[in-house]
Amino acid sequence: MPVKTICWANNSIKIIDQRKLPGELKYIYCRDLKTIWDAIKTLAVRGAPALGVAAAFGVLLGVSKSKERNTSKFIKEIESVCDYIGTSRPTAVNLFNALNDIRKLVRENKDKSVIELKKLIRKCAFQIYEHDRKVCREMGKFGAKFIDNKKNYMTVCNAGSLATVDFGTALGVFYTAQKNKREFKVYSCETRPLLQGARLTAWELKKSKIDVTLICDNMAASLMRKIKISGIFTGADRIASNGDTANKIGTYNLAVLAKHHKIPFYVVAPFSTFDLNIDNGKQIPIEERKSDEITQIKGINIAPKGIKVYNPAFDVTDHNLITAIITERGVISPVNKQNIKKIFSCYA
């Protein structure tokens, strides 16, 4: 079964240190704000839904030890903790949605005492955590309908239990299909530069006894020509109002290849990954990361010293390349502004 990636334990945030996988399954206890900020920045904890939970627990961690007794000064502290966590990584909107949930809660309860506000923040953080567990299982049920017996599927990066509390979005679809006794194969793209596909997806699918085969990213096209791939399943970091979707760098390549090879391309993401404040993917902030993630492997240089590097962590897939977005409330297809608006107006 999938693993538990993040939880609240004895006044600390307990996370799997994903930088150490697959070699070592090691846990870190974040007991202060700086430690959880660093864990987010350095990808010890990662994946959009897990980042939402990490942000919520991060605020809880940051404010629970406050000695402040004056409510308005305490609210200022909460605001600055939220601002600080918001500087960790820019693309996954789940992180900002969690911070905004807490900000809104505090605004609506600005007359309460410090103790009451602390209790409300705690309750809200736990709700975000439980909600993730629930919606991943709902998405799994909707998505598993697209998995057939004896077929081949592909995924990129890690949208599994390691990217959520404990079940996954895209990989949650595979776990549900497995539970429904489907037999199928998954090809995991390694996902350069940080190898989330090789280190994390291959690890968790193998551990869960799903038939997984690892490929280098540049092997996807030739594999699509050689065998029939019946669907590509990915997660998302931010989905704009029109369905344009930011996900791990390389996702857009796969979507273009999928169109050429007539392979359905599915994005599996909860409502908390939508950013309805932006019209399209051009407005999604894309994180650029340090050059040594490309020029070095485990500290060893693999490129000339001083070489110029371009290292965006995400790309944007146009909505018209996406066959369907699988959410906790159902499947959006065709992917367009009207259909997204419709599902949100029914349920949000």
Q: Which residues form the catalytic set?
A: 237
62 versus 160: smaller Cβ distance to ligand MRU: 160
Strand partners, 332: 325
The structure tokens listed for 72 are 């308005």
Residue 218 CA to residue 270 CA, distance in Å, equals 29
* Contacting positions for ligand MRU (CB under 6 A): 43, 46-49, 92, 157, 159, 163-164, 169, 196, 235-237, 247-248, 313
Q: Are 95 and 88 in contact (CB under 8 A)?
A: yes
CA-CA distance, 78 to 83, in Å (whole number)?
9
Instruction: Please report how many Cα atoms fall inside a 13 Å half-sphere around the Cα of residue 200, on the Cβ side.
Output: 30
Residue 106 or 204: which CB sits closer to ligand MRU? 204
CB of 141 to ligand MRU, least distance (A): 16
157 touches 196 (CB < 8 A): yes
- Give the number of other CB atoms < 10 A from CB of residue 175: 24
Smallest separation, CB 108 to ligand MRU (Å): 29
What count of other Cβ atoms lies within 10 Å of the Cβ of residue 345?
8
Q: Virtual CA dihedral for 131, 133, 135, 138, nearest 10 degrees?
A: -150
Position with the least CB separation from ligand MRU? 235
Q: For 315, phi and psi rounded to 5 degrees?
A: -135, 170
Q: What does each C-alpha distance from 296 to 24, 55, 290 come to in angstroms?
A: 21, 29, 11
The answer to whether the CB of 240 falls within 8 A of the CB of 318 is no
Nearer to ligand MRU, 78 or 163 (CB): 163
Residue 296 φ/ψ, nearest 5 degrees:
-130, 150
Q: How far is the CB of 244 from ligand MRU (least distance, A)?
A: 15
H helical segments located in 109-230: 114-144, 170-179, 196, 202-207, 220-226
Question: Between β-strands 300-301 and 296-297, what pairing exists: parallel, antiparallel or unpaired?
Answer: antiparallel
**What stretch of H or E contains 231?**
strand 229-234
Nearer to ligand MRU, 157 or 278 (CB): 157
Smallest gap from residue 342 Cβ to ligand MRU (A):
23
Is the Cβ of residue 46 or residue 118 nearer to ligand MRU in the bound state? 46
Least distance (Å) from ligand MRU to the CB of residue 169?
4
Cβ-contact 156, 191 below 8 angstroms: yes
Question: Residue 48 or residue 255: which is nearer to ligand MRU going by CB?
Answer: 48
Min dist CB 105 to ligand MRU, Å, is 25
**3-class DSSP state of 188:** strand
Nearer to ligand MRU, 43 or 56 (CB): 43
Cβ of residue 304: shortest distance to ligand MRU, in angstroms? 26
**C-alpha closest to that of 328 among 306, 309, 347, 310:** 347
